[in-house]
Chain A
């Protein structure tokens, strides 16, 4: 009896399968399911742009409407990846322009996007709606103008922390009068002033506008007139919050804020003067997300503000909040799910000493839904980690950055091994972990033993030997991304666990003790991996046993990439290196 379902029925069933993880499983069942699934997948995620070729993706998913791509490794955010390494969007845009002209949405993260790319998007995708660029670089405001002028159905244009060559604010005036579909606009990372009248006109003809994130150059006064035109906003990123306004202007602005009945998310607030903070009080009870990471608000003002935010789920703030401020958060913000506390000093010496591990402990003890933490702090203790672990076993993401490298428990002077043990033992669903402070190999033994759901792990200035890497690679079953800097392991663990790397997306190691010879060996043994040595100095002039600066290893179906710069060495691009190695033997 033929038990196969007709493809039309399969298609209908698969239309209810949203998650790509599920769709990936579906496509493994049998050939006909693979075929039906691929023809019906609309949203494609490629989390490493070098893991697969654009042509292969376009071929497999002809119905693609939305493409999300990630380029550079995560540590590129912290200046560890030299300029010119790669992550170019062009080959993808070119391929999609030819094979998937119905593409509507493009989301790129850590990629190099040029004006040419943006012009190509504008010219090729007739129904283009969404462009979200996160931590991208390589384009100018001219490219933005090209998008503005051509994409008649644009709904989202978001530039999140991009590095843009800012040639002025004219680009905004290129949005045609006929464009009325805008839902989200984020130009917070640009410096130049845009023409207020253009912005006001754009906002008034966009009845669906829900999210508006302005740049620093938009004055407080201008903000008032914009908000009057868009009281329906759900997300607002203000500009500079510091002009001196007269009493009348201030009360008008306060009034405008009370009209923002739908507002859930607030950010920006650059240079906010303390006397303007009360302007925000009326929106506080409705806020679920508050990003104060650029707002140098002092603790007393923060307490006033946050004690009114009873529905807050996400809080990003500077360590100016101090332990006292975090206690206020603990008592007022019971719905809190995500907390990020950033340093207010760019240097180890300047960390705010009035914020300690106690702040995080208070929040952990009091906020039952807390599941994601990023915390920069001068020092920590095992006891605090144990308390956090005990009170918050539901943590999914725990990133602790003790700013001083090798800092031990400041009360007992012991390594923080036991504290992190408590975390991984208790938080059984932990998916992302960043460790810091003084850590021996033992810490990694604990992580390897208990961190079974761990997908991403970040390590700096830790461990003693190859054992640390061995514990991680042999123990963490779900490990997907591992990034390590300044740790003293060598080749042994890496070579012994080479097969593990094919089950992971990527491995980054910098300023560790891995030798050039080991990289070559890995490359030869594991053809499904790209092993890239990033080193300014020609490795071939040094012995094979010498350590290399940076290594990035990732699995790929696409083979070695063709766009490597001169400071990236692989045995494919630089076969002479392979030959000399064999010659030594």
Chain B
């Protein structure tokens, strides 16, 4: 089971002290060496390798283009009331559903399209005419052509 030529303590849970470790001293059992072993887990890890945010964004865009995806489409996303925004590459999503899911995850709250709601945050976008519109009315592909930035509004207000 263990490949004696490559040392690989990748684990997303606590280190097993019965596995050979590189030296005699014991590893603290309560410490989990949490370098995720799959690239999809690593996707959400924004802190390794140690490169600055701008380079990281540039590289993500590069990777997608190399894989034959259409051009990166980075737009800014702001949560109303929060001055610092995020950047999101819309070309990585195939539909409104995947966009909303990702935004909900990114902002740690429930983000929806369409009618206003006192509980949920509603997603709006600024189109190429500069107007602020509800997300979800037009077909996804058309949306990608016209969207310039996104704003997640506070509940109750639209």
Main secondary structure of the interface of B (DSSP, over half): loop
* A77-B52 contact given A346-B59, A346-B63, CB 8 Å threshold: yes
Nearest chain A residue, comparing its CB with the CB of B82: A83
Q: Are B25 and A441 in contact (CB under 8 A)?
A: yes
Instruction: Quote the shortest CB–CB distance from B82 to chain A (angstroms).
Output: 9
A:127-180 near B, CB below 8 Å = 135, 137-138, 161, 163, 165-166
Q: Are A486 and B35 in contact (CB under 8 A)?
A: yes
Instruction: Quote the shortest CB–CB distance from A247 to chain B (angstroms).
Output: 26
Interface presence of A344 (CB below 8 A): yes
* A403-B54 contact given A346-B63, A413-B6, A464-B27, CB 8 Å threshold: no
Main secondary structure of the interface of A (DSSP, over half): loop
Most buried by B among A75, A403, A406, A512: A406
Q: Are B5 and A413 in contact (CB under 8 A)?
A: yes
Interface presence of A488 (CB below 8 A): yes
Instruction: Point out the residues of chain B lying under 8 angstroms from A347, CB to CB.
Output: 39, 42-43, 63
Q: Are A464 and B25 in contact (CB under 8 A)?
A: yes
Q: Are A490 and B28 in contact (CB under 8 A)?
A: yes
Q: Are A405 and B51 in contact (CB under 8 A)?
A: no
Q: What's the Cα separation between A359 and B31 when bound, in Å?
A: 36
Instruction: Point out the residues of chain A lying under 8 angstroms from B39, CB to CB.
Output: 347-349
Q: What's the Cα separation between A138 and B25 when bound, in Å?
A: 45
Most buried by B among A80, A342, A347, A490: A347
Q: What's the Cα separation between A512 and B7 when bound, in Å?
A: 20
Q: What's the Cα separation between A18 and B28 when bound, in Å?
A: 49
Bitwise, B54-88 to A at CB < 8 A (1) or not (0) is: 11101110110000000000001000000111000
* A406-B62 contact given A138-B83, A342-B51, A488-B27, CB 8 Å threshold: no
Interface presence of B139 (CB below 8 A): no
Q: Are A461 and B35 in contact (CB under 8 A)?
A: yes
Instruction: Point out the residues of chain B lying under 8 angstroms from A346, CB to CB.
Output: 49, 51, 56, 59-60, 63
Instruction: Quote the shortest CB–CB distance from A141 to chain B (angstroms).
Output: 13
Nearest chain B residue, comparing its CB with the CB of A458: B50
Q: Are A83 and B84 in contact (CB under 8 A)?
A: yes
Instruction: Point out the residues of chain A lying under 8 angstroms from B18, CB to CB.
Output: none
Instruction: Point out the residues of chain A lying under 8 angstroms from B27, CB to CB.
Output: 464-465, 488
Q: List 11 A-B contacts (CB under 8 A).
A: A77-B52, A78-B48, A79-B53, A343-B59, A347-B43, A376-B51, A406-B7, A406-B8, A438-B7, A464-B27, A465-B27
Chain A residues within 8 Å of B, Cβ to Cβ: 75, 77-80, 83, 135, 137-138, 161, 163, 165-166, 189, 191, 293-294, 296, 342-350, 376, 401, 403, 405-406, 408, 413, 415, 438, 440-441, 460-461, 464-465, 467, 486, 488-490, 511-513, 545-547
